[in-house]
Amino acid sequence: MTATPKSPAAMTLAEVGTLAQSIRAEVGKAVVGQTDVVEALLVALFAQGHVLLEGPPGTAKTFLAQTFAAALGLDFGRIQFTPDLMPGDILGSNLFNFQTSAFTLTRGPIFCELLLADEINRTPPKTQAALLEAMQERRVTLDGTAHALPANFLVVATQNPIESQGVYPLPEAQLDRFLFKLLVSYPSLEEEARIVTSFGQRAGPQRPADLGVSAVADAATIAAAASAVKGITLAESVVDYVVRLIRATRDSADLASGASPRAAVLLANAARARAALDGRDFVLPDDVKALAGAVLRHRLLLSPAAEIEGKQVEALVADLVEATEAPR
């Protein structure tokens, strides 16, 4: 007798943890180190939030995103952002079919489940803005007609540091739609030696499948995990803590622009996902503290005085977390 498949909606926290461990194992087959970044990607996946990866060239940002997508088994799309890229190259367009005398929708690469927006700050703001509606509403509007994207549509964007030449800094409205900005740093001495040992003898492009990475999930499984995360308890005291922390960014004299209410919502959702990955059905203040830097670092602008004094956003966020009383 064939067993009835378990409904994805019935996924338990234990199953969420098992799924996360399977994804970590697959990513670890190809990516050396970057465990904190991988963990944050898992949080973002289950919180259904977009991620911006920033780091110097050659630190495997693109390869990490490709490997993560390969482990998830999602419909994958990639856009290489360049200075001459146009919005239609991302979204698609309606083309006139002379045989049928009607317009036919030609879908762009954005119509996928996981989109790698590679070097997103290499293209002008007009093209960057083509992603705004897709990231917020999970839909695309072409010639006045809305076209739905998958409910679990996820953007993993990479960018080189703003100090690099030939880049266009993302506008604040775009940055605010990313759940996390994750900093991809150079590997340690031991990790770099492992990278050279593993890849130094491999000729040609490196592909996750060639390194044994296979899909351990699918869209339904990930949707079930995200549904389980939404059921994590967020106590009123923790809600109050999140709101006070976000509002503190607006009151700081060192910041010209604080975080938006969207940041508070995203921080709370991410804290739920982190709790689920830890096997808990409730959020702790420590979940909020651990994620505050990744949620806030791209949303805050230093005041002119703070820039002159050489202050850093990272340090200011840490100070605000320390100064904001957490519930006991």
Say yes or no: 169 and 32 in one domain: yes
Say yes or no: 283 and 155 in one domain: no
3-class DSSP assignment, residue 100: coil
Distance between CA atoms of residues 84 and 93, nearest Å: 17
H helix runs in 125-235, sequence order = 125-128, 132-137, 172-175, 189-199, 219-230
Structure tokens at 38: 């991988």
Spatial CB neighbours of 65, under 8 Å, sequence gap ≥ 6: 53, 116, 118, 156, 158
Structure tokens at 310: 């050489």
3-class DSSP assignment, residue 69: helix
Which among 81-85, 149-153, 178-182, 205-209 has the top mean pLDDT?
178-182
CATH number at residue 317: 1.10.8.80
168/47: higher pLDDT: 47
Tell me: pLDDT of 167 over 60.
yes
206/244: higher pLDDT: 244
Matching residue, tokens 């351990």: 216
Task: State the pLDDT confidence band at 2, using cuts at 50, 70 and 90.
Answer: very low
- Give the pLDDT confidence score for residue 56 in this predicted structure: 86
pLDDT tens, residue by residue, 126-137:
888 888 888 888
Task: State the pLDDT confidence band at 5, using cuts at 50, 70 and 90.
Answer: very low
Say yes or no: 222 and 254 in one domain: no
pLDDT tens, residue by residue, 247-296:
999 999 899 888 999 999 999 999 999 999 999 999 999 999 999 999 99
What is the C-alpha end-to-end distance of the chain, expressed in Å? 52
| Domain extent at residue 264 | 231-323
Say yes or no: 137 and 188 in one domain: yes
Say yes or no: 222 and 236 in one domain: no
- Give the pLDDT confidence score for residue 166 in this predicted structure: 67
Say yes or no: 257 and 295 in one domain: yes
Q: What is the tally of structural domains in the chain?
A: 2
Tell me: pLDDT of 8 over 60.
no
H helix runs in the chain, sequence order = 13-28, 35-47, 61-72, 87-91, 125-128, 132-137, 172-175, 189-199, 219-230, 236-251, 261-277, 285-296, 304-308, 313-323
pTM: 0.87
CB 206 within 8 A of CB 199: yes
- Give the pLDDT confidence score for residue 3 in this predicted structure: 42
Q: What is the DSSP string of 230-258?
A: HTSB--HHHHHHHHHHHHHHHH-TTEEE-
Tell me: pLDDT of 14 over 80.
yes
Say yes or no: 22 and 166 in one domain: yes
- Give the pLDDT confidence score for residue 268 in this predicted structure: 96
Tell me: pLDDT of 77 over 60.
yes
Q: List the one residue out of 176, 161, 323, 183 whose CA is nearest residue 254.
A: 323
- Give the pLDDT confidence score for residue 105 in this predicted structure: 74
Say yes or no: 38 and 151 in one domain: yes
Say yes or no: 180 and 283 in one domain: no
CATH number at residue 22: 3.40.50.300
Say yes or no: 176 and 273 in one domain: no
pLDDT tens, residue by residue, 52-75:
999 888 888 888 989 999 999 888
Task: State the pLDDT confidence band at 1, using cuts at 50, 70 and 90.
Answer: very low
Task: Tell me the C-alpha to C-alpha distance, in Å, between residue 292 and each of 22, 27, 242.
Answer: 26, 25, 9
Amino acid at site 108: G
- Give the pLDDT confidence score for residue 163 in this predicted structure: 61
Distance between CA atoms of residues 121 and 170, nearest Å: 6
pLDDT tens, residue by residue, 176-218:
999 999 998 888 898 888 888 877 676 666 788 878 888 998 8
